Structure 1
Amino acid sequence: MSLIEKIFGKKQKETETGPLRLEFNKLPDLISAQYRKNRDVSAPVIEKKYKEIGSSVRDIKDARKELLDAEAIADANKRAEKLGDSNRENVAHNLNLIIEKIRVPSNKDPKNALVFFEDSKATMKNVLDNTRKSQLYIKALYPTEFENINLRLANLESLLDELYEMIRDDKNKIDAFEKLPQHMENISQKEKEAQLSRKRILALEEKYESAKTDLVNAGSDIAKLRNSSEFQKANDLENNIKALENKIYAVNSDIRRLFTPMSKALSRMEKQDKNEMHVLSPENRKVLIMLKDDPASIPEKELGPFLDMLEKRIQSRDLGLKDPMYEKILRQIHKLKETTAMSDLREQSKMYSSDIETLTAELSRLDIYREMDLLQTQESQYRDSIGLILSNMEAEHKHLEEIEEHLEISRSILNSEVKEIFGQDAEIVY
């Protein structure tokens, strides 16, 4: 049983039609077998044509000798004979190129026959190009030999063309044979790339599912933590702290309102200080700034001297205000100096601040927020990881699509080459 029968199975009945089914991995052996089959069929015909070509070359060798031995026509003058001799030498030299270069190969392979044909045709063209002018002299002086040479060259060229006609159908097969290994390598490489890409996609899908599970678990842990008694306690502490902070803000607002009636006077004092009309001491300037920004932060020992200074300025009427405004400010100064309104508000603020410190210390001893921060950080990381995985999956899917497109093109090219080699449709099983 032949190799082809071993791989394909025995020949099917003539009535059965359909493409050859060829396994991709066995294709090199099948192609080699088919190549040998084509070569064995072509070899006897090529060998016969080689013999005819070899005989034709020998005829040209004889014609070359006859030209060198020939005498010029009787009526040729000396000058013509001299020119004829030099051109005869040129023709003989070029004919010798044909004799030396056009040697039929011992191998009857169609591929070698094609190379032999192309090289021989190139040699013939060079010889004819090199002797075109010389042949005019030969024709005039040695007409019989010229005719003989032309007939022999035409015969050789005809035999070479006949050889090409015999192997022309094999040329496409030879091209396909030569291209096949590279195309098969391309397909194998693309299949490996596609396999690696699919593995990467599977790995990314596993990571995606794992990250989704982690995200769900983190969300569940956060929900449990929020529903825990410790979290509720921490939340209550925070709410109490915020309530106290709001009370401190209200106290500070009340303190600010104590100085609202004297706002115009304070503004005039600031302008006069900047314009150096009435320069304040560094201590009073500091208090003035604090009154504008945060009156609650002014120490009592610094506020008293400032109010004394302000009272003198009001009494001296040097701030450019109307009399009713001076009186209003003066009453407010007396209220601040003679009542405990300011100190009472300060005490309230200190008490609220003390309570905030106590609650904050208690809150800091709880681990619940640290646990919540950790879980929320993990949740954010899982969410970011999922986004990155999805992006990588999309890129990998696109990469796989590109590989599969190239693979489809390469397989189509391979199918065409296999069809050319076997002379019928073939289905390649990958």
Structure 2
Amino acid sequence: MKWLNKILGKQNQQNQQKPRTADTVAFRDLGDWVSDRTEAELGGFFESAAQIFAEIEEMKEELIRDIGGLKAAEPPELPSRVLRVGFAARDSLIKQINVVIDRISTPVMDYPAIMEFCRSIDTALDATIEKSAKSHHRAKYLFPKEVGAVFTDLRNIKISLAKLRDLLDREGVKIKGFDGITEAIHRIGDITRDIVAGNSTIKKNGSKTDGIKREISDCAAKLEQLSQSKEWSSFVELEDKLKERELEVSNIKNNVLELFIPLNKALNRMKKQSESGRYTLSKKQKKLLDVCLENPISADVADVNDFLVEMLQIVESGALGLKDKKRDKIVDQIDQIMDSFAPKKERYDTLKFETHEIGHQISDLTISKTKTALEGQLAEKNREIAHIDEEMSNLGDELKMRSIELEELKAELSDAVNSIESVQIVFD
């Protein structure tokens, strides 16, 4: 805040030479305190600004009258072509200046509004004068007195704007200083409210989490009660059987897939050659080829055998372009699959059926439905707590940062206020 050292100039230096006893001001009253000091320090500025705006308003009214005079003025006797050009230029000039007139309105008496007024009107006047140069020249040929009066009014407004700009330049440092203090007060208020709201949210969510934890405890207790029931041992026995069969199903599936992996190179060549038209596989054989690559255990034994017989013929014919050693390995692998696939498939189907049946038995047990429901509730409650914990952790981090920002702002505000007058701010 470099502006702090420039707020009061010589007056501040005089104050520093006098011994001062620090008064106290409650933060909630600091806005009024700043308003009083602003009025004391800058009352003259706003009075001067108001006088200049009064001048501008008078000039605006004079400009409106002179525009009316220009509009009503009668031209001298001239050729009709010259008159047409002159009238058109007058109308264009009046239209452009009226746009500026509509924008001239005294703003509220604060530094940013006055600065914006000064900038925007000055820019608009310059643009209008530049844009209307041709119309000005042509209209002046017909109405020299009236056009001259209008442009005198415009120049007078620009002179007043220059006076206003000089006033802003002289008092700008002080004004920015007080505005900076006011802004800091607002920011401290906003951050304080955010922190209070954040802490309230954390407190509410803490209570919410406690409630969810009680619900989790209730679910866990009910699950424990289930484990003590008569039906539990039957349920556990069925679940163990189900897990055993599911594991064996998975092992068979993986084992069969491993049997087919050595054929992948040949299978992919068959697929590519079939797609290129080198030889034609039936629709069923194409489907079986994809099954053998992706999930061979799902295929029917007879279908697999038929497909492998055809594949064996293609491999032995040399159509796939395999080297002898690779071809022999594939032939041996096909023989191995044809010997072992059927019993594996039979066992797989049996296990799948048993898994399905055991699953039905488990689902028919009341205890199973209760256990599933309780476990679902437990999982949902745990997810809810994890979500709340994450949100509260993020909010806590944010509040720590806001608290640091708040303390820094308080220190800056205290320095700013004490550069005006020795005052101790009592923050709520």
Do both share a fold (TM > 0.5)? Answer: no
TM score, norm. by length of structure 1 = 0.42
TM score, norm. by length of structure 2 = 0.42
The structure with more radius of gyration: 1
